[in-house]
Structure 1
Amino acid sequence: MAHFYLLETLESTTVGSTIVLEGAEGRHAATVSRVRVGEPFSLGNGRGLVVAAEVLSTSKDSVELRVDSVEQMTPETPQIYLVQALAKTDRDERAVEAATELGIDVVIPWAADRSISKWEGPKIDKGRSRWSAIVREATKQSIRAFLPRVGPHLKTAQLISELEGVHIIVLDPTGTVPLSQIELDERDIALVVGPEGGITEAELARFSEAGASTVTLGSNILRTSTAGPAALAIINAKLGRC
């Protein structure tokens, strides 16, 4: 399997040209992955451009590549959001990682009423940076052409405003319709996942007032770390993406 790295500054290139991957990515490729001359190498810019290349030379902190092919991917529609409630330990991070590998387009950190983990003050920027790093590494691991966006840290009222015009699907055991039976249209989709203690009745009421669908994933109660990826797999199947 070809090594895959991200170079967000890459705008365009042509077959036969050379690219030098430097900085943290180049150093990782040269000293951690230990790529060798002649090996295949893939490079993307996170916005749909994917380059297949061959390693020409390596140094301590850079890799020189010859471009063999160039492809510009088109983003899929509708876009799918993961609204992930902040959770204790690393359960929210595991959800974000798995959802990225499964093709999520946008991740939004949600400060739910029952979230044990709190992002306040400097923790807000630190938390978003951490999630962005997780998304970036998962994008590379899964060789995705598009790097998901990590949205702002939002409370419920802000979240509902942010998702205006989006089909909000709330995952909750109180749902009466299975997610597999929900009707989809051309709107973007937001999968809302609550924290360990669940979504409060007040939050469910606010989502309902905003036109959200409340659905169930079945009789089993899933952890906050698995509900989002499980729901995304179902949506992918309904959209014919798997």
Structure 2
Amino acid sequence: MRRIYTGSPLSEGHHVELDENAAQHVGRVLRMQPGQELKLFNGDGRDYPATITEAGKKRVEVLIGKPEANLTESPLQITLGQTLSKGDRMDYAVQKAVEMGVTRIVPLTTEHCDVKLKGDREEKRLRHWQSIAVSAAEQCGRARVPDISPVMTVAQWLEHSRECDLRLVLHHRTGQSLESIAKPGHIALMIGPEGGLTADEIALAQKEGFLPVALGPRVLRTETAPVAAMSLCQWLWGDIGD
């Protein structure tokens, strides 16, 4: 059954007109017709079965059924600090992070980061990444869409992540492994750029309470590292091992 995200409030027994993005996807892209069924979610953690009552290219109305519990959210919260990268690498990192159960994604600018975003360009990219997060949530069955935060510097990120009870920075030149760490409830995970974090950045992160960890003897690309790290974290402390 098709799963569609909508920003509209959803309530059992009510007729709801889908917002512009959802209506366009259902009516113009999928070309669904009245009488067909789909599942909606709006980020409140539940799925809403719905039946299309009216369908056009710009306007779609549905009748909402009884909400269903959605059990796809991990008990482990992960806030990902991901250094900006060029091309579709950042898109890939956002998409796969959502699939792996990330709670929030914070784009970072670091010393070796070669992507500069300001003003309208930053706003456009944030909207683009949020759209990718929505599509990934639709595909993987999640009923909550992770938030994409505004771009932060390293100093801002270190301050922002203090709410987490475990803060990790990936660093291939350390002997610390994930298996030796006690089970956390909320992780902050810091990923560097292609050129890596500088020694000063790693030292500053350590000074602020970040623990350097390695995922093995190989150096991972910036878009691969968060997928590998979150897979291991979810296996050790989240819901993959279950």
Q: Would the TM-score normalized by the shorter structure come out above 0.5?
A: yes
Show CA shifts across 1:149-195 (max 9, x none).
11121111111111113121111211212234432323x21111110
| Counterpart for residue 28 of structure 1 | 25
| Counterpart for residue 213 of structure 1 | 211
Give the alignment of 1:114-133 within 5 angstroms: 114-133=112-131
Give the alignment of 1:142-181 within 5 angstroms: 142-166=140-164, 167-181=166-180
* TM-superposed deviation, 1:63: 2.6
SS in 1 for 2:66: strand
> Which deviates more, 138-147 or 203-212?
138-147
Question: Cα RMSD (Å) of the superposition?
Answer: 1.9
User: Which 4+ stretches in 1 moved above 4 angstroms?
Assistant: 72-76
Give the alignment of 1:25-174 within 5 angstroms: 25-71=22-68, 73=70, 76-166=74-164, 167-174=166-173
In the alignment, the residues of structure 2 paired with residue 173 and residue 120 of structure 1 have an alpha-carbon distance, to the nearest angstrom, of 31
Show CA shifts across 1:99-134 (max 9, x none).
112211100000011001112343332332222222
Q: TM-score, normalised by structure 2?
A: 0.90
* TM-superposed deviation, 1:197: 0.1
Aligned residues: 238
SS in 1 for 2:24: helix
Unpaired runs of at least 5, structure 2: none
Whether the 8 Å contact between 1:45 and 1:145 is mirrored in structure 2 is: yes
In the alignment, the residues of structure 2 paired with residue 36 and residue 138 of structure 1 have an alpha-carbon distance, to the nearest angstrom, of 24
Of residues 205, 220, 223, the one that matches 2:221 is: 223
Q: Name the % identity.
A: 29
Q: TM-score, normalised by structure 1?
A: 0.90
Alignment CA distance shift 1:137-1:45 (3 Å): same
* TM-superposed deviation, 1:91: 1.1
> Which deviates more, 119-128 or 73-82?
73-82
Whether the 8 Å contact between 2:6 and 2:19 is mirrored in structure 1 is: no
Show CA shifts across 1:192-218 (max 9, x none).
111000011000001111111111111
